[in-house]
Structure 1
Amino acid sequence: MTPVIALTRFRIAGYVASHRALQPLIALLALLAVLYAGAVPAGQEIAATADSAAMLVPVLAWAARGLLDTEPDEQRAVALSALGAREPVSGLLAAFASLLALAAIAEAALLVRLAGSPSLSVLLTGVWLHLLSVAAGLALGALTSRPILRSPAVSTIALMLGYLWMLLVSLTGARWLTVPVLGWMRDAHHGVLPANPPLLTAQSLLWPAIGLAAYTWLRRTRP
């Protein structure tokens, strides 16, 4: 496992050094500035964090795609030759770590803007929602990265359409057919979000799991 971790750290360092990390970070800060232009009233913490988690998905997908696109094709081919099937895992781990950092910034911004003092369970709900957002962003970003979609234009359109699909299907209430991002927001604003965490977790992780499995499979033929 050591070579995988070493390659993961190398890819994160390359991503940061390339300054690609600044693009989704700036987008994230702009989004947070809009979301938290005013203080979050007491009792609205879960609704605010659900809004943040749902709107954060395309930013996280952009960040994941940017990290996976940073490495030159030749260098990725060398890594694939050295690590075999473990090479895509390294890229996903690096992307996951970068998304966790962005999600932590979003969660910190929420805590700073709280007008009240929420309970520990409310804070953990916020962390849980942002982790679900990270999973969705990771899968969408991986499936639209250059090893899968060679054209930058097609990749960008696919990312946007993927998130739009989440929103449109979420509107229908068909929670098992997509990541129910609007379901998070709807339930949070109606005060029923924490009613069944295991069910919502399963609904929210089903398609990211399928997407990551598809990415891993596709990488076998698209180095």
Structure 2
Amino acid sequence: MIALTRFRLAAYVRSHRAFQPLIGLLVLLAILYGAPLPPGTELGAMADSAAILIPVFAWAARGLLDNEPDEQRMIAITAVGRREAVVGLGAAWIFNAGLAAISFAALTLRLSARPEVAAVLAGVALHLLAILVGTTLGALTSRPILGSPAASTLALLLGYLAVLLLSLSGLPWLTVPLMLWMREAHQGELLAHFPALAAWSLLWPLIGLAAYGRLRRTRP
């Protein structure tokens, strides 16, 4: 499985499709961090970064999962069974972790003050949650699930917008609470509520991954 993961990552990079989300990330970073971030906004900036990068992670995950031809995917299924789906998710997660590392490094360089260790750890954890959310959204809109590229792109964008809108609604428990991440981080309350918020944020991606696994069992 490790060899297959490396193969899929290498194939994604060689196809040049990997540069699309990377360029999108760099443009986003140039907009977000064109000026230094003032002292006292470190945790808020980390929470904003994690929430805003989710569609980039979803785009990258979908691109990696779509990159493999259907015939090659069937060969992989023959070789490792349904673990092929796990390999794809793992490869997407690793690639997204690289994007998140670039974003976090850029954010750190634009901070005007050194953040507390607890704030840095919370920021890293939020980015890990964002990778999970983005990878899940990308997987659910990938070609093995949605065959139409147009429908896939629309579902990805609408899915992210739905998460944001539900976060703002009176029923935020129906989705990943992205707006709550940002609001509590800017108000200085995130660290106190982080364990419960992290558990809440894990719920829907895990349900989405379970749905992806079930759908992949019924589709080639």
Asked if TM exceeds 0.5, the reply is: yes
Q: Secondary structure of the residue that 1:219 maps to in structure 2?
A: helix
1:126 paired with 2:123, answer: yes
The alignment status of 1:31 with 2:28, answered yes or no, reads yes
Match of 2:192 in 1: 195
**Aligned 8 A contact 1:88 1:219 in 2:** yes
Residue 6 (1) aligns with residue 41 (2): no
What is the Cα deviation at residue 175 of structure 1? 3.2
User: For each residue in 1:177-218, what CA deviation from the matched residue of structure 2 results, as whole angstroms up to 9, or x when unmatched?
Assistant: 101111111111111111122211111111100111111111
Query: Is the Cα–Cα contact under 8 Å of residues 167 and 177 in structure 2 kept in the other structure?
Result: yes
How big is the shift at 1:176? 2.0
Q: Tell me how far apart the structure 1 counterparts of residues 85 and 7 of structure 2 sit (CA, whole Å).
A: 14
Q: Is the CA contact (8 Å cut-off) linking 1:175 and 1:203 kept in structure 2?
A: no
1:49 to 42, 46, 50: 46
The answer to whether the Cα contact below 8 Å between 2:119 and 2:191 also exists between their aligned partners in 1 is: no
Distance 2:74 2:214 in 1: 16
Is 1:40 matched up with 2:24? no
3-state DSSP of counterpart to 1:104: helix
CA distance in 1, matches of 2:117, 2:185: 17
How many Å separate the matches in 2 of 1:196 and 1:187?
A: 8
CA distance in 2 between partners of 1:173 and 1:185 (Å): 17
Matched, 1:94 2:73: no
Letter in 2 for 1:82: A
Matched, 1:158 2:166: no
Kindly indicate whether residue 114 of structure 2 is the aligned counterpart of residue 85 of structure 1: no
- Per-residue deviation, 1:173: 4.6
Change (3 A) 1:173 1:203: farther
2:111 alignment counterpart: 114
Task: Choose the corresponding residue for 2:63, options 49, 66, 77.
Answer: 66
- Between the aligned residues of both structures, percent identity stands at 63
Q: What is the match of residue 204 of structure 1? A: 201
TM-score (norm: length of structure 2): 0.98
CA RMSD of aligned residues (A): 0.9
Q: In 2, distance between residues paired with 1:14 and 1:91?
A: 12
Where do 4+ consecutive residues of structure 1 move more than 3 Å?
none
Matched, 1:140 2:137: yes
Q: Residue by residue, what CA displacement relative to the aligned partner does 1:7-32 show, whole Å, maximum 9, x if unpaired?
A: 11100000000011100011111111
**Equivalence for 1:217:** 214
Counterpart secondary structure, 2:27 = helix
Asked whether the 8 Å contact 1:173–1:183 carries over to 2, the reply is no
Q: Please state whether the residue corresponding to 2:219 is helix, strand or coil.
A: coil
Shift of 1:222: 1.3
